[in-house]
Amino acid sequence: CGCKGIRSCLLCEGPAQAAPPPQGEDNFTYCPATGLAKGNEHSEFAGWTFPFPGVFLMEEFISKDEESEIVELMDQDDWKPSQSGRKKQDYGPKVNFKKQRLKAGSFTGLPSFSKKIVEQMKACPVLDGFLPVEQCNLDYVPERGSAIDPHFDDWWLWGERLVSLNLLSKTVLSMSCDSEGSIQLFPTSSKENGELTPPGPFTQASACKNSGAEGANCVVSPRLVPSKEVTVAIHLPQRSLVVLYGDARYKWKHGIHRKHIARRRVCVTFRELSAQFSAGGRHGELGKELLETALSFRGRPV
């Protein structure tokens, strides 16, 4: 396998491993229709919610036939072992993020099959002006115990928007926060049809019942909880496209637990350049060269 340091998978853990490494339960679930994170029913945060900005989710971004064709083309190239039971294909410059150095090296651009995907992205307002300079394909299977630890993507080279296409199976993107700050929760309010709606500063009588109070005039104040106690599940359907930006990009780590890989899953992630590698930036000329290479769509995995 490709595991290093503290990373591990079922291949290197061996048969003595009785259970997967501890994996916390997400206690909130993101609602794409409202942009809110809602406390899960069996968690201590049931009945509470808070705004969770910086996520765009589009279901059925591509068709079943397009999905099959993309994966078939990927499988014609080699998959290299990666950490935590994953395999990968990289289309991008060689980067040392710790030393903040990069080399174009053998980077020849994004693959030809991605040209159509990038064109389809232009229909998403949140991706206005998005120019991918790097593509990473990751292959997850339960037999290897595939997962990815909570992490931030680099922001020296990569820009604000992270774009991922979820193929072959559904999964859950788990968001967590390490900051010392607090999150303000509000009591959940619901419409008659069961849809979650943005909460006001106070609750409805239904939330008062949860607190043991009675009467239509009951008032429950917002609640402050440490950020570290909150994890948010973003459910990614098969063939969906998810974009992380803003707070979801820079304040919240994202990861995928082993338990959320039930069958083969392929993730295609596109990244754009940061401001200093864009026009007018410190490394703008280098960025321009990288983009020209990337958008030639003649690439092979590096």
- Amino acid sitting at position 287: G
285 token code pair: 């000329």
- Is the separation of the CB atoms in 109 and 293 below 8 Å? yes
Lowest mean pLDDT among 57-71, 210-224, 274-288: 210-224
194 pLDDT higher than 60 = no
- Is the separation of the CB atoms in 157 and 101 below 8 Å? no
- Is the separation of the CB atoms in 169 and 105 below 8 Å? no
Sorting pLDDT into bands at 50, 70 and 90, what band is 17? low
Q: Report percent pLDDT > 70 for the chain.
A: 87
Lowest mean pLDDT among 89-98, 158-167, 211-220, 249-258: 211-220
In the DSSP assignment, the letter for residue 270 is E
**Strand 94-96, strand 189-190: pairing:** unpaired
Compute the distance between CA of residue 288 and CA of residue 126 in angstroms, rounded to an integer: 22
CA distances from 201 to 32, 99, 115, 205, 222 (A): 21, 46, 46, 13, 7
Sorting pLDDT into bands at 50, 70 and 90, what band is 119? very high
pTM assigned to the model: 0.89
216 pLDDT higher than 60 = no
Lowest mean pLDDT among 13-17, 36-40, 227-231, 297-301: 13-17
Question: What are the residue boundaries of the structural domains of the chain, listed by start?
Answer: 24-186+221-295
Sorting pLDDT into bands at 50, 70 and 90, what band is 75? very high
| SS3 assignment, position 85 | helix
Question: What CATH number is given for 24-186+221-295 in this structure?
Answer: 2.60.120.590
Exposed/middle/buried for 135, CB within 10 Å: 0-12, 13-18, 19+?
buried
So what's the pLDDT on residue 16? Answer: 59
CA distances from 9 to 149, 219, 261 (A): 12, 49, 13
143 pLDDT higher than 50 = yes
